[in-house]
Each structure stands twice: as structure tokens, then as C-alpha cells.
Amino acid sequence: MRTLTHRLIVALLVLFGILGCSSRHVLTVPEPVPDDRRTIERPGSQHFNELGDAFDQLIIRQGEQLLDMSRGFRHMTNRLHQSMNINAFDEVENSSWFTNRNAHQRMSIEDLNQGPNTGTGPSLEGTWLIQRAKTEGVTPGFTIEDSRGDHYVIKFDPTGFPEIASAAEVIGTKFFYAAGYFTPENYLVRFDPSILRIDEGVLVSDGRGGQRQMIESDIEEILSVVDRLPDGRIRVAASKYIEGRPVGPFSFVGTREDDPNDIIPHEHRRELRGLAIMSNWLGHVDTKAGNTLDSYITDENGNSYVRHFLIDFGTTMGSGGRGETPPYRGTENEFDPHEFLVNIFTFGLYVRPWETNFSVPYRSVGYFTAEDYDPSVFKPMIPNAAFENMTWRDAYWGAKQVMSFSDEQIAAAVAQGELTDPDAAEYLVNVLIERRDIIGRYWFSRMNPLDNFTLQGNIVHFDDLAVTTGLEDAETTSYRYRRISDFSSDCGEWNHSDECSIGVESNGIVDGEPYFGYEIQTRRGNQDWSNWVRIYLRVQPSRANLELYGLLRQEI
């Protein structure tokens, strides 16, 4: 028995050793991902059930992962699979999933305010024809057709929490769209309930598992639990039907079989992994498949393909759908076996930060705070496979999206939520700014935040994002760099610079080596040198000039 244990231990040690030591950092230029905006046949609508998905994500997939030794070893040795849709510079190209926007080039306040909107929202002239209605539950709602023939999902604020969900919906939309995701057009609307009419044949649940014809009193019942403005109107978020033909939500795992453009498993997509950081910042805990939508659209180039949308931001920031968000959200899954067991066996002595600092200063904002905010912890309500596969490089990319928002942009986006209480709006802006900076400090201290590399002559210029975003002072920051090769262990001498640029050798190519690189480290004040970033150069195949070839970031 002892011998067997001994053998097992030795075998495991050997395995760990191999997995841990065999990772030599060399540039691997990822295989290019074909443009996924090519015309395809219209896919069918995907069957989707929220309960089944929750069971899948909470139970089936977690069990599978638990017994997946490969995954376990990769986690232990920190050799997780990198995202599969990145280019040589660790960025994502524009696709049917994502468009590089604010982090690529800062949007104007006007563009940010405009967001995905192409109009002004539902027409308040004429009537709103109710075409679907949800009469039961704590969050009732309508689907309407306005006098222009446009369709909108009308979402109410929960009783006693005026503005909370509608503001979150609109503000969240601005941020996610500006970051680069596709979102619906969400508008804030104040309407007079007298414009509501019931379309023919509208069915509602009879509360007994069946359906019946909707009648006028159902409208009254729905509106009876909705707060009204002093003039009798009702403030709602109106979400315009997404363009194209909806073909069901997308999963955060695997690919869509009937979409030949979809070849990258979603859990290995950079923009979905990095979404964890955006969601963490904005408290978007409800990142389940049910809050996504695929739509078969035809774009401005005439190509018809599936575009992937994030929808429903009503439970972002401090909004919890039924009121303020419960304080544990974001740190625990809705049912979290791990936390459950930790709670049981710590006998109530383990006190979580949210247990002590729960306060709701503004009912229109809900529970949203920067106090005790830990950017390393984020658990959505239902486990998300893409988030669970996130590497530091993905997180850095996500942090870059978050840090791309300036104070002015944040204030402008919050203003779109039209919070009546200016103190509440100011509080929300401050919390978002603080959380943004906490995220930036956390990830920009773990990853060397040198970015936007360009080559001018023999000088490589770059931005130090920690400095450009104001987190660190340029005066106390210095850099060192040296020539390196992936093909030999020869390294050049360290050179030092206080500027965001390095001089490179114009004839740095050694015979037989297709490219060469420079390793750059950063020092802030008296701290140690940071993780490195390696920028690689090669001679252009057609001309004799140097060009940037790729980039590699040290993760641990």
C-alpha cells in the first residue's frame, strides 16, 4: 500500500514537473481566424431553456470540470488555454461578436451617448399596441408595437425602487456598446398609460398553467404594482427589437452547429472571456445564455450572417431585478456548492465583506459600492464557462476595455440614466470611477500594461496604459529593455529609458532566425521590475524594412 502511494506521489510529481517546466516562452503566432461575417444560410431558431441551462452550468459542467485532470493540471501549473481568436498582438479583430471601439479609439461623448440607438425610441404619438404581456411575477412587462410599427420590450422598475432598473438598462447599454459588444437599442421613456391598447389574440397566463385572452383589467393589474411619476406617467426602459431575425441565444460553451462562421468555441473567445472584467466592473451578474441573443442580420455590405448580442442590462450595477441587488451577488453563484460547504464548515465564523458593509444610500442606485471591492473575485449568478477559462492575458484585455472609459465618459453614460436625484447620479459616477481604477491597478500591476506598439524608423513607441490612464505617474516610472531571441538563449544587455520608446537594431536579424525581439520591463518608484512584455520584429518579406511581428506578455 505504502509502495503504491509512493509510486503515485512520484508519478504526480513528475507530471507536475513536466507540465510546469516545459513552458518556454516563445512567440506563437496564432492561426488567423477567418472573418465570421461571411454570408451563410439562415440558421434555425435554437431550442433554449433557462432552467436546463442553469442546471447544465451549475451541475453538469461543474462535475465534468472537476474530473477533468487535464484542466486541473493546467490550472495548477497555470497553463490554461489561451483565447483562440487573438492575433499576434494579443488583440481581437472586429467580428460578428465584437467591434473595437473605445479602447481602440476613444469615442466622443456624443457617440457614446448615441450608443447603439438609431432613433429616438418608441413613438408617444398614437397608441401602443400590446402584443405580448407577462402579468404574473414581480417583474411584469409588455411587448408593444408603436404607431411607427416598431416593436419594443417595455421593462418596468420594481415597486419602491424608482428608476433603478430602467437607469441600469440604459447606462449598461452605453458601456457595453462602447466597449465593443453588440447590444439592443434601449431607451428611457415616460408614457401615459392611456395609450396602451391590447392587440387581437394576446394571451396571458391564467396563473394555473394555462393561457387566456388578455383583457383590460390585466393592464390595470400590471400597472397597479408600478410606481408612477407625479403627472401619472410611467417611466420605463424600452428595448427595441433587435435587427434581423432572432435565432435564439448563444451559449458560452462550444459553437453553434448551424452557423459555419462559428468555429471558435465560445469559452475560448477573448471578448467573452474578457467580458468577465467588464461585467465585474458594472456588476453585471446575470451573464447567462438567456441574456444573449443571436440574430441573422444583413449588414451594410450585404452579407447575411449571425450577429451576437448581449441583452438585458436591468440587473447591472446596484439593480437586482426585484429591487436592490443582493449583496452576495458577484461573489457567489446563486447556488454555490463551494460557498455552501465553506459556510457549513466555518461555522459562521467566516464573515464575508458584503455581510458587514451592506448599505443602500440611494434606492435608485441600489447596492453598488467600491468599498471592499475585490476585482479578483467575480462570480456571476450562474457559472459562465468563458469566465472560468479567463487567463491573465484575457483579464488584461478586459481591464483595458474598462480603463478606456474616461471620467467624462462615465459621467456622460450615467447621465443617460436620467436619475432624478443628482446626488444619486454623482454617487454612481464616483463608484464606477473608483471600481474602474481598482480594476486598473489590480490588472496593470500584474501584467505589464505597455500597449499600442508602433514602429517609426528604428524606434518602437508604446503607451504605458497605467500612466496614460492616470493610475501611475510618468515621473516615477522607468523602463528597461534588452534584445532577446526565441531561437537561442543569448540576451542583450539591459538598456534603460524613461521614455515610452526603445531603439531597435535595424539589422537585428541573425542568419536563420526569422524574427527577433525586445523584452521590456517597467519599474514604478522603488518597486521591483515588472513582468515583461516582448515585442517582436521581422523584416518585411517584400521589402527590406522592419515591421512589428508580434507580442508576448508574461502572465505570472
Residue 134 or 228 with smaller CB distance to another protein? 134
Where in 437-496 is the site for another protein (CB under 8 A)?
A: none
R_g of the chain, CA atoms, integer Å: 26
3-class DSSP state of 151: strand
> What kind and span of H or E run contains 422?
helix 422-446
Size of the site for another protein (CB under 8 A): 65
Strand ranges inside 83-213, DSSP E: 128-134, 141-145, 151-156, 186-191, 196-198, 203-205, 211-213
Taking CB under 8 A as the rule, does residue 556 contact another protein? Answer: no
- Please, which residues have CB within 8 angstroms of residue 464's CB and are 6 or more apart in sequence? 449, 450, 472, 474, 477, 479, 500, 522
272-331 residues in contact with another protein (CB under 8 A) are 320, 322-323, 326, 328
Whose Cβ is closer to another protein: residue 323's or residue 449's?
323
Rounded Cα–Cα distance for residues 168 and 313 (Å): 6
Nearer to another protein among residue 28 and residue 213 (C-beta): 28
What would the x/- binding string for another protein be over residues 323 to 352, using CB under 8 A? Answer: x--x-x------xx--xx--xx--xx--x-
Per CB under 8 A, the segment of 54-62, 176-184, 522-530, 538-546 that binds another protein is 54-62
Q: Are 261 and 41 in contact (CB under 8 A)?
A: no
Among the listed residues 55, 78, 134, 540, the single contact to another protein using CB under 8 A = 55
CB of 260 to another protein, least distance (A): 4
Provide the grid cell at 207: 396563473
Q: Which is nearer to another protein, 146 or 271 (CB)?
A: 271
Strand order in the sheet with 495-497: 495-497, 477-484, 516-524, 533-539, 546-553
Smallest separation, CB 430 to another protein (Å): 25
For another protein, which residue of 7, 42, 75, 228 counts as binding (CB under 8 A)?
7
Q: How far is the CB of 82 from another protein (least distance, A)?
A: 6
Stretch that binds another protein, among 6-14, 116-124, 241-249, 443-451 (CB under 8 A): 6-14
Cβ distance to another protein smaller for residue 344 or 544: 344
Cβ-based nearer residue to another protein, 81 or 461 = 81
Contact assessment for residue 92 and residue 86, using Cβ atoms and an 8 Å cutoff:
yes
Contact 289, 252 (CB under 8 A): yes
- Contacts with another protein in 185-214 (CB under 8 A)? 207-210
Cβ neighbors of 386 (< 8 A, separation 6 or more) are 252, 253, 266, 267, 268, 269, 272, 273, 275, 276
**Beta carbon of residue 136, minimum distance to another protein (angstroms, whole number):** 10
Contact 89, 30 (CB under 8 A): no
Q: Show contacts with another protein in window 13-52 (CB under 8 A).
A: 14-15, 18-19, 22-23, 28, 30-31, 34, 49-52
Angle between helices 407-415 and 422-446 (to 10 degrees): 140
Among 35, 41, 42, 60, indicate the residue that binds another protein (CB under 8 A).
Answer: 60
| CA–CA distance, 150 with 240 (Å, rounded to integer) | 8
Q: How far apart are CA 214 and CA 143, in angstroms?
A: 13
Note whether 356 binds another protein by CB under 8 A. Answer: yes
Least gap, CB of 407 to another protein (angstroms) = 32
**DSSP class per residue in 11-68:** HHHHHHHHHHH-------PPPPPPPS-S--PPPPPPP--HHHHHHIIIIIHHHHHHT-
Closest-CA residue to 380 (of 57, 123, 97): 57
Of residues 62-101, those binding another protein (CB under 8 A)? 63-64, 66-71, 73-74, 79, 81-82, 84
Distances from the Cα of 386 to the Cα of 251, 276, 324, 464, angstroms: 10, 8, 27, 28
Strands of 450-456's sheet in order across: 450-456, 459-464, 501-503
As measured in angstroms, the least distance from the Cβ of 24 to another protein is 9
Q: Kindly report the CA angle at 163 between 161 and 165, in degrees rounded to 5? A: 85
Nearest-approach distance from CB 299 to another protein, in angstroms: 19
The pattern of x and - marking residues 114 through 153 that bind another protein according to CB under 8 A reads: ----------------------------------------
Q: Which residue's CB is nearer to another protein, number 56 or number 146?
A: 56
Nearer to another protein, 26 or 474 (CB): 26
Nearer to another protein, 22 or 456 (CB): 22
CA 22, CA 18: separation in Å to the nearest integer?
6
Q: Which CB, 66 or 544, lies closer to another protein? A: 66
CA–CA gap between residue 117 and residue 243 (Å, rounded): 12
H/E segment holding residue 534: strand 533-539
Q: Is 11 in the site for another protein (CB under 8 A)?
A: yes
Which spans of this chain sit near another protein (rule: CB under 8 A)?
A: 3, 6-7, 10-11, 14-15, 18-19, 22-23, 28, 30-31, 34, 49-52, 55-56, 59-60, 63-64, 66-71, 73-74, 79, 81-82, 84, 207-210, 254-255, 260, 262-265, 268, 320, 322-323, 326, 328, 335-336, 339-340, 343-344, 347-348, 351, 355-356
